Amino acid sequence: MTGKLLFLQNGPKRDSVAKLPERFAGWGLDVDARWAFDGDFPETLESYDGIFLSGSPHGAYEDIPFIHREHELIQEADKLGIPMLGVCFGSQILASALCGRDQVFRRSFCEVGNKWLDVTPAAANDQIASAIGERVYMFVWHNDEVRAGHPDMRIIASSDLCPNQIWRFRDRKVWGIQGHPEVTKEQAQIWFEQSRATMERDGADIDELKATADEALPAKTMLSKFAALCGATAA
């Protein structure tokens, strides 16, 4: 039986460069893609085997209806024991909903770049992070950040500028990834150009980003392992 994934798109466009709903479907999941940014949420969570939460230009602390609704959905999903994975804003809103609104803060400057992250021993036996190695490479771009040090968080990876790049909520099947393992090398070239003005304003060197972009295959194992955890037939 194929697992059913609720995919919450938190961005201002229904579709993103990474085309993750299609990728999760390719791994064998039945994907219900909802445009949460536009207020599209399911009435019930009972039929879902997993939830993925995407990035967003908004902050998890903002007073916006879809953000309030998503906090409630996350808390309900946690009570039901539904596995969840959030990337960028998705990681931040998971932390805000499960560990407290003060867990997410605005940095004094942006962290942006293709970076090596240091991996903690917690990854070795983790259900989705066990294959990322002792260091893992991925693109990161964030002005908001999840605080480290909360007793309900297991830190899995950190960068030189962000101590909480990958984390897990207690021993639950709930993970947050600050960076962007979902983007392929080809997609990165498109994304960097589309976002050139914003990224440059945040301090990025677009030519350098393009030159150092990578498929980041070890990082992507977190996505495929999450798909398998949700009951994908061929992840």
Residues tagged active-site: 88, 180, 182
Dihedral of the alpha carbons of 206, 212, 215, 220, in degrees to the nearest 10: -80
Residue 113 vs residues 102, 132, 208: alpha-carbon distances, Å? 26, 19, 9
Residue 133 vs residues 125, 159, 178, 213, 227: alpha-carbon distances, Å? 11, 15, 17, 19, 19
Under 8 Å CB-to-CB from 154, ≥6 apart: which residues? 122, 167, 168, 169, 170, 171
- Write phi, then psi, for 102 (nearest 5 degrees): -80, 0
Q: What is the DSSP letter of 43?
A: S
